[in-house]
Structure 1
């Protein structure tokens, strides 16, 4: 499979990865009415997915660094798609929690591998843009998930929403199993494969760890907003479930796609002037996100609040491509699957594995508006961690070594 076809197959898988993940949030009010559960229990449905997702990722990363990765990609898509469809058949809250956990197993297997696998098939100077294009699946898939959940849930019930969105991933997973070839692994000799000492070196990579922490804070904010803003629209602005999913989904797809696209382009353009281009883009994005997000909560009028929120969404999606490109740049080829797995573990352990349930608890105590405001503060430590990562990256010289046109050290 050539690089272009590989991109589109992985992009479609990533698209349904986010559709199947986010469809839950638009049907929160329907689930609550049907299963008689609290806001905290609703938030736990999102958090249990992330808990399984982050714990399973390092296991996948370990084996993916040693085996042909297309098998993990295809099998993971089959698992999460089947688990999404299984949500339609659950009879109680415990069964729904279990199904959400299995979705986490499948999606962790895919996300851990897909980005480094894709990056290896394209030139270094285009990787921020390439990974930004790949990351467009997040806003587009999330928006389609909100839309599908809202529309299908409103007209045919929440069970139909889960059933219908799970089907495409089954076909794409089979296609990945049969059509993708991991040429890098086939050409790799056993002595070039990851050793345990390589993982210790990775964990001592301070630039990498601080970048993961910055990413975690951004993920905390994004996860909390993704889980609760449709319900916020429903409660405070009187939107129906369908309209809340439609409006928020449209904002995510337009503003998120715009931010993701611009972030990759800006970083690659700035890369011609400085090796710290990725970090400059990431820092500026997080810094600008805070006043927009906080302002949207304090604004009493609907239209200005929506415009401020739109600006915040653009800013919080800007770092998507640069963060992935920086992760590739800061790590060696032989441990990249594990590097992305460690990143997944950190960003979800400190990010959206906890933010939905924390916001749900805060909402039960102080109200949802206060909870949303609390969530927006997470981007401030993200700025600090980005600066720390940039300092250690510059000190180590890894970025200059990586970006110099020569064969990369394995």
Structure 2
């Protein structure tokens, strides 16, 4: 097959398309909130369950590790199911797992509930991203991605402050209760408004399909690009809050303002960047958005004690620059993958990105430490690692664009022949492809 793999299943009316995207953003919002809500609960959970910081870190890591594992496993089978049906099942399971977190009576049961929530949440994120690629035409896919990804800044705005307020007023159970209730409200809405997207059944066995997902040159470059995209930010974010408190002089009570400022600015910048992604070559948009992102990382990781307004401005620049790289990059990756592999591929890339985030956090942890006077040292080194990852991300994007030019260019002006997408034949793995 030599057709463009980015062709949509069906064209929805404009109003229904907007409703679908807002609904998917709501689903993703609860998914992201479930992860972020853990950050402000550390002190309470350590006191209630009599656990140490290492044991608490396992509660945080359990979600990501489970999401990565389920994402890789989903790559074998997700394309064999109707997207909407799969999303509804996994989202229902996610809501139940979140409720189990709220009701957990012991540390072990909470840990197991976090594993279940991560496993379901990882698949939910993969399926809804694949659904955007299946339903939205390529010329509007950048804006569609920006709508769905608006869940990230919204989670930044509400995640930490709401978690702190609810945990303070009603103890640590309350944030999980709210998320479970929100998911229960969103589920029937999603069941009503989301379109059915038929499965992309293949004559290939799951193992053969996974081999194509992992080893076709287009897929390999997409996976590497997606991993480095996340690595660049994840090597900075874990120590952003401690740096603001210990080095910059922001008080813990002012810390939610950092996330609020960044989240608000990102919420307004994402739609603009989505439009730019659809209007211009996606790699060019990635290149341009990388410049403020790199500048913000350098400033943030070298920031001394400054007044709060300056700290808020730097945080806002960081959030806008870092998140601005996602719409063009993920739209380009999604466009490059053929329909019948998209669900499995997005599941695998979700797993790869979770793993990349974990490696980045570990790398940053090896570079950053606390001095005798209580200041955070080594954060600039983590910044240089992030800047290096920015450069590699742009290079990997260029590499993907070389082999799949149709994925990056505006479909309205794209007259360049598309690279051959993965086929079901023996050459599917393209191991000897000279373009790899």
The answer to whether 1:7 aligns with 2:21 is yes
Q: Structure 1's 173 and 51: CA in aligned 2 closer, same or farther, altered over 3 A?
A: same
Corresponding pairs, count: 399
Which residue of 67, 78, 81 corresponds with 2:81? Answer: 67
For each residue in 1:267-320, what CA deviation from the matched residue of structure 2 results, as whole angstroms up to 9, or x when unmatched?
Answer: 33333xxx6334424533542332232133x33443322322221121111112
Residue 212 of structure 2: aligned partner: 198
For each residue in 1:10-53, what CA deviation from the matched residue of structure 2 results, as whole angstroms up to 9, or x when unmatched?
Answer: 11111111222211112222223333433333333221110110
Cα distance in 2 for partners of 1:316, 1:141 equals 15
* Secondary structure of residue in 2 paired with 1:62: coil
Residue 250 of structure 1: aligned partner: 260
Deviates more, 1:394-403 or 1:254-263: 394-403
Q: Structure 1's 3 and 266: CA in aligned 2 closer, same or farther, altered over 3 A?
A: closer
Structure 2, unaligned runs of 5 or more: 1-11, 423-436
* Secondary structure of residue in 2 paired with 1:276: helix
Residue 229 of structure 1: aligned partner: 241
Kindly state the Cα deviation for residue 125 of structure 1 after the two structures are TM-superposed.
1.8
Residue 167 of structure 1: aligned partner: 181
1:216–1:350 CA contact under 8 A, matched in 2: yes
Give the number of the structure whose alpha-carbon radius of gyration is greater: 2
So what's the TM-score if we normalise by structure 2?
0.79
**Residue pairs, 1:257-272, within 5 angstroms:** 257-271=267-281
Deviates more, 1:228-237 or 1:298-307: 228-237
Structure 1, unaligned runs of 5 or more: none
So what's the TM-score if we normalise by structure 1?
0.84
Cα distance in 2 for partners of 1:373, 1:336 equals 38
Q: Structure 1's 183 and 162: CA in aligned 2 closer, same or farther, altered over 3 A?
A: closer
**Residue pairs, 1:34-73, within 5 angstroms:** 34-73=48-87
Which residue of 297, 305, 309 corresponds with 1:299? Answer: 305
Q: Structure 1's 112 and 40: CA in aligned 2 closer, same or farther, altered over 3 A?
A: same
Q: Structure 1's 384 and 177: CA in aligned 2 closer, same or farther, altered over 3 A?
A: same
The alignment yields a C-alpha RMSD, in angstroms, of 3.4
Cα distance in 2 for partners of 1:193, 1:356 equals 36
1:259–1:315 CA contact under 8 A, matched in 2: no
Cα distance in 2 for partners of 1:256, 1:106 equals 27
Q: Structure 1's 129 and 401: CA in aligned 2 closer, same or farther, altered over 3 A?
A: closer
1:17–1:141 CA contact under 8 A, matched in 2: no
**Residue pairs, 1:280-359, within 5 angstroms:** 280-281=287-288, 283-296=290-303, 298-352=304-358, 355=361, 359=365
Residue 122 of structure 1: aligned partner: 136
Deviates more, 1:112-121 or 1:198-207: 198-207
Residue 389 of structure 1: aligned partner: 396
1:62–1:337 CA contact under 8 A, matched in 2: no
Kindly state the Cα deviation for residue 335 of structure 1 after the two structures are TM-superposed.
1.1
**Residue pairs, 1:179-194, within 5 angstroms:** 179-185=193-199, 190=202
2:235–2:363 CA contact under 8 A, matched in 1: no
1:77–1:173 CA contact under 8 A, matched in 2: yes
1:44–1:356 CA contact under 8 A, matched in 2: no
Cα distance in 2 for partners of 1:82, 1:190 equals 32
For each residue in 1:174-222, what CA deviation from the matched residue of structure 2 results, as whole angstroms up to 9, or x when unmatched?
Answer: 443465343443xx56559985253244366443133123213134136
Cα distance in 2 for partners of 1:387, 1:131 equals 19
Cα distance in 1 for partners of 2:376, 2:316 equals 17
Which residue of 202, 207, 214 corresponds with 2:228? Answer: 214
Q: Structure 1's 332 and 117: CA in aligned 2 closer, same or farther, altered over 3 A?
A: same
1:207–1:391 CA contact under 8 A, matched in 2: no
More helix by share: 1
Kindly state the Cα deviation for residue 378 of structure 1 after the two structures are TM-superposed.
4.1
